[in-house]
A and B are shown apart, each in its own frame.
Chain A
Amino acid sequence: MTQQKASSLRYAYYPGCSLEATAREYDLSVRAVCARLGIELTEIPDWNCCGASSGHSTSRRLASNLAGRNLMLAEEMGMDIAVACPACYIRLRSAQNEMKQDKEQRDELMRMTGLSYQAEYDTRHLLDIICHEIGFENLKSKVVKPLKGLKLAAYYGCYLVRPPGLVAFDDPENPQCLDALLDTLGAEVRDWSGKVDCCGGSLSLSKRDIAIRMVSELVEMARQAGAEALVAACPLCHANLEMRQPGYNGNKLPVFYFTELIGLAMGIAEARSWFKKHLISPSGLLNSLGL
């Protein structure tokens, strides 16, 4: 039954701009892990940037239409959308709602793009898909190298859980699915209070000092909870937590993408090459645990 369900998982994949550059290892691990889990991803052809914070911070209409074009392209493919980046995820879901409610705007964008849109398909994050469509039992059966002894803090950040009216597939204040996923992989998951605190990623380039303070506070909390690494599901959090983390190499906490750890636990050989792209190398930590 599970097998049957897994084989029908087909999605229009929206990687987002970061996954083509600073978060390349996230894209590589997403594709490798999905292929092994039976999730068929087809990249949306000619997708454009969702506009991110800069779009909705400066023009609601621009934000909605930039994200909207991608929804239309995906609808042509006839599949739900799978998104890797939570910032893109919230933009696409927000546009999905606006276009459902605002017929005028939808018609305007249909004229501009020459595409149609009936809002028939949904936009989902890959963490949601893996936790709820694949499921923990199924995932567990594929673990060949349990992440024994790896002490982790699951970091959800903002857009996977907020605002709850728009994105909720988990609790907005104390989400559990990433914790449960890492537990399934055999890791030691530490409970901590920073899991939904913002890391300041949107200010990482424009207001560096603010981002440094926000990252420091998070990392300190994770350390006090006994974590030796953080696990993220967002390319902006990942880059910010690596770049703005104070300390010297050797005492900084490595940051993993959740898909990298699934890949490692499933024994996917390329996993080592993903970790080489990190600014804070996790090799020392992994070697010390024989992983």
Chain B
Amino acid sequence: MRYLVENRALDIDTSFSEQVKAESGADIDRCYQCLTCSLGCPSAFAMDYLPHQIVRMVQLGLREQVLTSATIWVCADCQACATRCPNEVDIVKMMDALREISLREGLAKERGVAAFHRIFLGNIERFGRQHELSLILMLKLKTRDLFSDVPSGMKMFLKGKLNLLPKRFKEIGKVRDIFRGAGK
């Protein structure tokens, strides 16, 4: 496996697997590398490490490789892996925890996906609900990908499917308290 043949000394963080277990509640030690998760993963083709490899890397304490991997951001959150795991390893919760740690430590490599999450949550904090038009526009500006979706975006707008303004929301203060309470 790739991470074992890399021609350099790897930093091992022996506390990493304990941290991931504590933050995710997933019992990663139960994995016996049967590969069911990776075989059924619909976005595996775009990953740098396959899901079963990520589980093993967490067990081994390869903190940096895991937290800077593309895999954790390319995961489409479809839940197939955890549903099919014969030993009930909750890979979905593990991926969530890995993304959370990766963002917290500024290690997220897939800037586009991380930016998407930030803008998405920023909009909820501002408006209480998602405002799809500003979400799309801000993401396009942030990733400097201005023109790829113009035709379908225009079509949606003309069909009245993208509101110009966000809906009025009453208790926005309470939603902002929820964000503050989560340290956001």
Contacts and interface: CB of A to CB of B under 8 A. Distances in A.
Interface of A: 17-18, 20-24, 46-49, 51-62, 65-66, 69, 108-109, 112-114, 158-159, 162-164, 172, 196-198, 200-203, 205-210, 213-214, 242-243, 276-277, 279
A54 B120 contact: yes
Where chain A touches its partner, the secondary structure class is helix
Contacts of B117: 53-54, 57-58
A137 to B, nearest CB: 31
Where chain B touches its partner, the secondary structure class is helix
Q: Chain B interface: which size bin?
A: 35 or more
A48 B175 contact: yes
B41 to A, nearest CB: 9
A202 B76 contact: yes
Contact of A17 (B129, B136, B155, B156): B129
B6 interface: no
Nearest to B128: A48
A43 B82 CA distance: 33
A47 B175 CA distance: 10
B100 interface: yes
B46 A207 contact: yes
Contact of B175 (A18, A61, A66, A276): A66
16 contacts: A20-B129, A22-B161, A49-B128, A54-B120, A58-B121, A60-B97, A62-B178, A66-B124, A158-B80, A198-B78, A206-B139, A207-B46, A209-B46, A210-B43, A210-B45, A210-B74
The 5 closest A-B pairs by CB, nearest first: A198-B78, A17-B130, A62-B182, A54-B120, A162-B79
